[in-house]
Chains A and B, each alone.
Chain A
């Protein structure tokens, strides 16, 4: 089973969690990763630059109509929702906030589920609201794999706890374990 994309949603505590994740993922990690991190609408994206310092993979803001490519990491721009089209390109919208958030994790996850069906991995990390809970439900309905950060290991437990309470994630893991699992899923053992 080869996965074609990973979507990650996170809110408070997310930047530290992402820093950990991207300092550990190897340079040849190939499944594209698409991230919603709740952030101020006026953020200047310095935090992406900081993540890039310690990351072997290149993180960039997703552009409108950009084609999703292997080995790349895309981040939703502040004050826009990020969606994935079935032709695996990005769309941005300025629609109403969802769960008080723009970008919203649900909006990304639901469109990603439609685009990638069972070839998608959805990950919910630390955060303090319930954005993402509906999104991972949709991923699961479409046959994708879902992973929640173990709330006990999360800087902010509410978001993964909410996702776990209403869905049944395939995995509930610490950040270290999530990293190891993603690396394993990226390089399936060929028999």
Chain B
């Protein structure tokens, strides 16, 4: 057996063990990504091989919790891809405006930056009072931080630039209170965001919504899992509901490609057909 076969087998065995013991299912994640995370954690912890790591994960709860954090991506920004948010204002808001109430699902919201961005847009468009944003993630630690809505000052500088590029016309500092190195987002933005623990891999439809945003989450999944999760989004959306993906994600390799029309091809915004 070549080396290659051994390490591949060890990785799938480790992921199987994580699933059986803790219920988190990474078995259909991108292999290259998982391998990188495992290698990094092994190096940090001075472990010699993957089997050693597997036994540590099974027997050491703190180590296992850290490893689960490794596998959860918490890199995000407010108004990441300003062009996307510009398109949202131009092409999607006019559709949402026609509904008496608006439900939005942010799937894989991590530490909440994109959910706050959405709340800001809805407030500026005068729609926030009739909007509910469901922001979900499987990472409870990230959700807790999202709920707090505290972000570091240097990051806020970047977000301000993003906000302005996205067509924002207010002063971004109206949306938070600054305190030394951190800012805290306004209560008026938090009031209609519902933070909830939901795992796209193991849980099912979350609610019936007018719009789903799931950006840069599906890139971590293999084709089968992408298909399964896209089916969940499709079943969650009302007819003519809107699906927003990350700027490098597509429906092309899924079974649902024919079931949407493109609202903005470049920004990966789709509308569910009747």
Which A residues fall within an 8 A CB radius of B? 42, 63-65, 77, 80, 83-86, 91-96, 107, 110-111, 114-115, 117
Contacts and interface: CB of A to CB of B under 8 A. Distances in A.
Contact of A91 (B8, B32, B73, B82): B32
Given A65-B223, A77-B248, A114-B35, A91 B30 contact: yes
Contacts of A114: 4, 32, 35
A94 B114 CA distance: 14
A67 B39 CA distance: 25
B250 interface: yes
A107 B36 contact: yes
Nearest to A106: B36
A110 B40 CA distance: 12
B36 A65 contact: no
A93 B246 CA distance: 11
A77 B250 CA distance: 15
Nearest to A111: B32
B102 to A, nearest CB: 27
Given A85-B32, A91-B33, A114-B35, A80 B248 contact: yes
Nearest to B246: A94
A91 B248 CA distance: 10
B219 interface: yes
Nearest to B161: A42
Nearest to A86: B31
Contacts of B31: 85-86
26 contacts: A42-B82, A42-B165, A64-B219, A64-B249, A64-B250, A65-B223, A80-B219, A83-B36, A85-B32, A86-B8, A86-B32, A91-B32, A92-B248, A94-B73, A94-B75, A94-B76, A94-B219, A94-B246, A95-B33, A95-B36, A95-B75, A107-B36, A111-B32, A114-B4, A114-B32, A114-B35
A111 B38 CA distance: 13
Contacts of A77: 248
Nearest to B7: A114
Q: In this complex, which of B4, B216, B248 has the most chain A Cβ atoms within 10 angstroms of its Cβ? A: B248
B85 interface: no
